[in-house]
Chain A
Amino acid sequence: MTLSTRIIACLDVDNGRVVKGVNFTDLVDAGDPVEMAKLYDSEGIDELTFLDISASVSNRETTYDVVGRTADQVFIPLTVGGGVRSVDDVDRLLRAGADKVSINTAAIARPELISEISERFGNQVLVLSVDARRARTPSGFEVTTHGGRTSAGLDALSWIEDATSRGVGEILLNSMDADGTRAGYDIGMITRIREVSSLPLIASGGAGSLEDFAAAIEAGADALLAASVFHFGIHRIQDVKKYLSEHGYSVHTGSSL
Chain B
Amino acid sequence: MTSDPQVAREAAGLVVPGVGAFSACMEGLKKVGAPAVIADRFRDNRPTLGICVGMQVLFADSDENGIHQGIGMWKTSVRKLQSPILPHMGWNTIEPSHNSILFDGVEGESFYFVHSYAARETHVGNATYALHGEKFLAAVENGPLSATQFHPEKSGRAGLALIKNWSKSL
Q: Is B142 interfacial (CB 8 A cutoff)?
A: no
- Chain A residues with CB under 8 A of B86: 198-199
Bound Cα distance from A199 to B85, whole angstroms: 6
- Chain B residues with CB under 8 A of A257: 105-106, 109, 157-158, 161
Q: Is B114 interfacial (CB 8 A cutoff)?
A: yes
B residues contacting the other copy or chain, number (CB 8 A):
40
- Chain A residues with CB under 8 A of B131: 1-2
Q: Is A3 interfacial (CB 8 A cutoff)?
A: yes
Q: Is A179 interfacial (CB 8 A cutoff)?
A: no
Contact B91 A6 (CB under 8 A): yes
Bound Cα distance from A173 to B26, whole angstroms: 34
Q: Which of B90, B105, B157 contacts A4 (CB 8 A)?
A: B90
Q: Which of B90, B113, B160 contacts A223 (CB 8 A)?
A: B90
Least CB distance from A245 to B in Å reads 13
Bound Cα distance from A252 to B159, whole angstroms: 14
- Chain B residues with CB under 8 A of A169: 87, 89
Bound Cα distance from A252 to B154, whole angstroms: 14
- Chain B residues with CB under 8 A of A198: 84-86
Q: Mark B93-104, 1 if CB is under 8 A from A, else 0.
A: 111000000000
Q: Is B126 interfacial (CB 8 A cutoff)?
A: no
Q: Mark A163-183, 1 if CB is under 8 A from B, else 0.
A: 000000110000000000000
- Chain A residues with CB under 8 A of B159: 75
User: If the complex has contacts A1-B92, A1-B93, A255-B158, are A200 and B153 also in contact, measured as CB distance less than 8 A?
Assistant: no
Q: Is B79 interfacial (CB 8 A cutoff)?
A: no
